[in-house]
Structure 1
Amino acid sequence: MTRDDDHAKVRRSYDTVASEYWERIGDELAYKPLDRALLASLVERADGLGPVADLGCGPGHVAGWLAGRGARSVGIDLSPAMVDIARREHPAAEFRVGDLLHLPAADGEFGAAVALYSVIHLEPSELRAAFEEVRRVLRPAGLLLVGFHLGAGTRHLAEWWGHEVDVDFRFLEIETVAGHLMDAGFTVEARVERVNYPQEAQTRRGYLMACRTAQPEGSHS
């Protein structure tokens, strides 16, 4: 199976669950104080650097939250159905359909970016390329906040909330993700881990705050 085939499966799966995803997940930041604090820190530090991209934005709730805090936010998602909902529900933000490996954005367009639980759908071999693509669209000293499920292995879903899907969720070690970020030209500034909130799936969560450097730092794999 090719990379394009795998991404197409993810796209179809999220198109299938888009409406229910919005109903179930669209208000999740209300019960995630740590996530809100990290996002607020990003917005404060990115002030004056340029727009903030929400990569893998889903139904747009994070981009909408960012816009509500004064940021010019641009959400990008693989799923056209998710983007349709995001545009309807969060008119203060801009939304585009696009792939993490081929972002529909100009070089240096953004001052900061957020990727919360979107890199978990990539193959491990795609992580560095995805972070290199994020680096491309960030301005010098631009910031990136990445969130993911901690651990190892893959969880496959063939059924999601009663809908037939075909999607993998990958668990990642925090040092592995940090290494790929450094390889791609980022300096990791902060590492945070937490347990799940009661409303979430029972997985540990990891967050990395990173800054775009002038040049990639070389291999750390």
Structure 2
Amino acid sequence: MFLVNQFDNFLTLENFHLAFSRLQTATRDLYKELYYEDLKIFGLFLDENIKFVLNEIEQGIFKPESSYKIFIPKKNNLVRPLSLLKFKDLLVYQAIINVIADAVYDDIAPYYNNIIFGNVYHTSTDSEKDRIFFFKPWKQQWKKFEQKTRNYYEAGYKFLSEFDMASFFDTIDHYILKQILYKNYKINEQLLDLLLELLEA
């Protein structure tokens, strides 16, 4: 995808409709609960509301609001903090991610079902039935992970290591993220600036 087209592709009714559908079909029940009323109200006049958001972005007056935090209890008696965007910001964020996900897919796809099994996503060009879900079903991915593990065991491997980096996403340097997306994946800089505004919020 060409640099000049990415921002234009982002600012389309089609992309924002897809973003809205992906928020509706997100697999995390907690998020569905938290955003249920927003999805319902925004969806009543969906085209009009999307056009309003698009106009704000085009006029340069869109500004993300401050996010808020909730804390989810964990089994070890600690809590997991979750930062939540206001709904309009979340919609814009998903619309940006749609474009970036399409742009980087060819580079990431060779790792899928090889060394990456979680968070495998659909592109906006997948079938209409599939693309309304951003991520592929985790149960389907888990089966592929189990099969790969079985294959390695049968090939003579005896050990399996799993890693979970604590607070990984909270510690990503936004400036470095922007440089990687811009230099390595040729993501439009205007789109990246908007993404960073949302991340900073």
Query: Would the TM-score normalized by the shorter structure come out above 0.5?
Result: no
Normalising by the residue count of structure 1, what TM-score does the alignment of the two structures yield?
A: 0.28
Say which structure is richer in helix: 2
Normalising by the residue count of structure 2, what TM-score does the alignment of the two structures yield?
A: 0.29
Relative contact order higher in (CA < 8 Å, ≥ 6 apart) = 2
Say which structure is richer in strand: 1
